[in-house]
Structure 1
Amino acid sequence: LEKYAVFIDEKSLNAVPIHLKIDTGMHRLGFEFDEAEALCNVLKNNPALQVKSVFSHLAGSGSAEHDAFTFHQFNTFKEVCKLLENALGYSFIKHISNTSAISRWPEMQLDMVRLGIGLYGIDAATGQENNSLQPVASLKTSISQLKKVKAGETVGYSRNDVMEKDGTIATVRIGYADGYLRVFGNGNGKMLINGKLVPTIGHISMDMCMLDVSEIDVQEDDTVIVFNEDLRIETLADQADTIPYEILTNISQRVKRVYFYE
């Protein structure tokens, strides 16, 4: 900030808007609480820097086990904001709430909120059963080939999965290069075909994977749902022992996006 203030002074700029992040416990980015006094001095000595907003980031607002820490962060944030306002002589926009805090802590909404993954219909704080948000994204593929496989034969790389009985597998057009993680292989992941859940079989390949469709009636080129409003992203995250953010951000750029406007 001091280097930026020098740059502003050298360029003879005035009323330059800035936004300050306060580290209240996330320990990722931002000014620490014990740096607040020095921060106030820098701002007072450089009036060309105009604080437009001050914000922080909650580390565990979606988990009840971290409620005490969440309140600690909130109170720390309010205290730093008060110090800044007293030093500057004017107020500014304040925001700290992410998606989980919006639903669990309305008193923390302040002037603004940051609806992140909630924009996609996901709120880890409420769980799938109580989530009133509407999912906005679905991921679809299709069956490339159907194949009869006898009991005892293996499927996929490393011969890691074995057909327990005579059946049918469907090779579908999605793999780990598209963002469908290898952890979903060998029955850990499931997809929807014609409203029926079917498990993966064998390892996930780069561009495709196989499903055991022995128990349902399917045809080549049938639509396969990887996730939608019925097979939710949260379910895939549980299957992969990860979080919905990772499922969404792993979808690679080569996957075609189709946007609908309502």
Structure 2
Amino acid sequence: MSIGCGDERTGSGAVASVDLGAVGHNVRVLQQFAGEAAVMAVLKADGYNHGAIEVAHAAVAAGVQEIGVTTIGEALELRAAGIGVPVLAWLHRTDSDYDAAITAQVGIGVSTAAQLDAVVAAARRVGRAADLSLKIDTGLNRNGVAEADLDVVLDATAAAVAEGAVRLVGMFSHLACSDEPSHPANDAQAERLRDAVSRASRRGTPPAVVHLSNSAATLTRPDLCFDMVRPGIALYGLSPVPDLGTFGLRPVMTLSAQVANIKKVSKGESVSYGYTWTAPADTVVALIALGYADGVVRRLSGRFEVTIAGRRFPSVGRVCMDQFVVDLGGDGSGVAVGDEALLFGPGARGEAHAQDWADALDTISYEVVTGIRGRVRRQFVGARSGEATE
């Protein structure tokens, strides 16, 4: 399958290889950090652009107890693919299909009284109790039940539980500053979540599961694990707190492309749009068939390296829509048309990491891996069958 709109006829030959064995490894690492807490694997945005269905199967096989996604549609796709563990969806539109979610036993995270009313109405129509989780806004001021509305929502939840329209399976929140483990906001948010749980319990509706920790908190704040942790980026082998190391995680995605052309460039000649790079000496350059339409953003121009046959070569000139250029040196370094160029991966073959791109762009690795698109084909390796699949 392709990550973007490309296929074998329109593709550039670029591949995002997804190592499902690394997914299993990362689940086991996260389980060690989680201790007694369960692990929910977050697979929103098509598994952070790694392929939600395949990653879900690998994660469940490795012991993940639950899965989290953003939308009901994402959850229903996992159900249709045979994923049977609890799945929670927590961001909804005014026309979200709660009936379908309840029928498929998809957990519904609600953040407003209006959403709760809509879920209760759907449960009555379907004739089955909804698996409800309350998302509590503890200070991120994004999604979640606001403090001013909490008592009203908790009262309505208690009434819905008494009616049999919902089961309160969870209460959860999301940290604002988890990548700064000692930030006081982390403790303050945890305390607000505990208070919300206590208020629900006083109404006779204690949640079955409480969760707060994302990847960073799972790896750095064991005191915030509660009943379950909810890692996202760490599942894909990328550190949520790069300054503290890799935590033993293995990057899951490797991005590669083909050398499409090789040519000599004389001293004083310039390369690519705008002539932003001029050869300081006679050299040989290689054209790589990947560009900003595929996720190699233009701001990376001249700021990253690729690995070919175990050697690193710098990009030169501007990244174009479909291609970019690297400097091979005066002798061409033995590189030939058709050779594989590694852009980022786990580093086993000398290639850069997604974090290297993130550092160059002053962003986070999440944006790097979710940004790969266009004509890049996704290929799974380390599958349950042991075969590579596309």
**Tell me, what secondary structure is at the counterpart of 1:44?**
helix
Structure 1: which amino acid aligns with 2:368? I
Note if contact 1:43-1:88 (Cα within 8 Å) is conserved in structure 2. no
Q: 1:173 aligns with which of 282, 289, 299?
A: 289
Equivalenced residues, count: 260
- Structure 2: state its 5+ residue gaps: 1-112
Structure 1: which amino acid aligns with 2:341? V
Runs of 4+ off more than 6 Å: none
Structure 2: which amino acid aligns with 1:101? A
Correspondence for 1:84: 200
User: Shift in Å at residue 257 of structure 1?
Assistant: 1.0
User: Shift in Å at residue 113 of structure 1?
Assistant: 1.1
Question: Which segment drifts farther, 43-52 or 159-168?
Answer: 43-52
User: Shift in Å at residue 37 of structure 1?
Assistant: 1.3
The verdict on how the C-alpha distance between 1:193 and 1:128 changes in structure 2, with shifts beyond 3 A counting, is: farther
User: Shift in Å at residue 5 of structure 1?
Assistant: 5.8
Correspondence for 1:113: 229
Note if contact 2:140-2:175 (Cα within 8 Å) is conserved in structure 1. yes
TM-score normalised by L of structure 1: 0.92
Note if contact 1:40-1:88 (Cα within 8 Å) is conserved in structure 2. no
**Tell me, what secondary structure is at the counterpart of 1:20?**
strand
TM-score normalised by L of structure 2: 0.63
Note if contact 2:137-2:145 (Cα within 8 Å) is conserved in structure 1. yes
Q: Where do residues 61-210 of structure 1 align in structure 2 (5 Å cutoff)? A: 61-64=178-181, 67-127=183-243, 129-185=245-301, 187-210=302-325
Note if contact 1:128-1:234 (Cα within 8 Å) is conserved in structure 2. no
Identity across matched positions, percent: 28
The verdict on how the C-alpha distance between 1:90 and 1:28 changes in structure 2, with shifts beyond 3 A counting, is: closer
The verdict on how the C-alpha distance between 1:156 and 1:55 changes in structure 2, with shifts beyond 3 A counting, is: same
Structure 1: which amino acid aligns with 2:132? I
User: Shift in Å at residue 196 of structure 1?
Assistant: 1.7
Q: What is the RMSD computed on CA atoms of the aligned residues?
A: 2.0
- Structure 1: state its 5+ residue gaps: none
Correspondence for 2:328: 213
User: Shift in Å at residue 73 of structure 1?
Assistant: 0.7
* Alignment partner of 1:246 is 2:367: yes
Structure 1: which amino acid aligns with 2:342? I
* Alignment partner of 1:236 is 2:382: no
Larger Rg: 1
CA distance in 2, matches of 1:105, 1:6: 36
User: Shift in Å at residue 128 of structure 1?
Assistant: 7.2
Cα displacement string for residues 194-249 of structure 1 (whole angstroms, at most 9, x for unaligned residues): 22221111111111110011163312211110001111111111012111011001
CA distance in 1, matches of 2:295, 2:121: 43
Cα displacement string for residues 11-66 of structure 1 (whole angstroms, at most 9, x for unaligned residues): 384532212111111111010123221112212333323211111111111114x6
Structure 1: which amino acid aligns with 2:298? R
**Which structure's relative contact order is higher, taking Cα pairs within 8 Å and 6+ residues apart?**
2
The verdict on how the C-alpha distance between 1:100 and 1:147 changes in structure 2, with shifts beyond 3 A counting, is: same
* Alignment partner of 1:39 is 2:153: yes
The verdict on how the C-alpha distance between 1:171 and 1:254 changes in structure 2, with shifts beyond 3 A counting, is: same
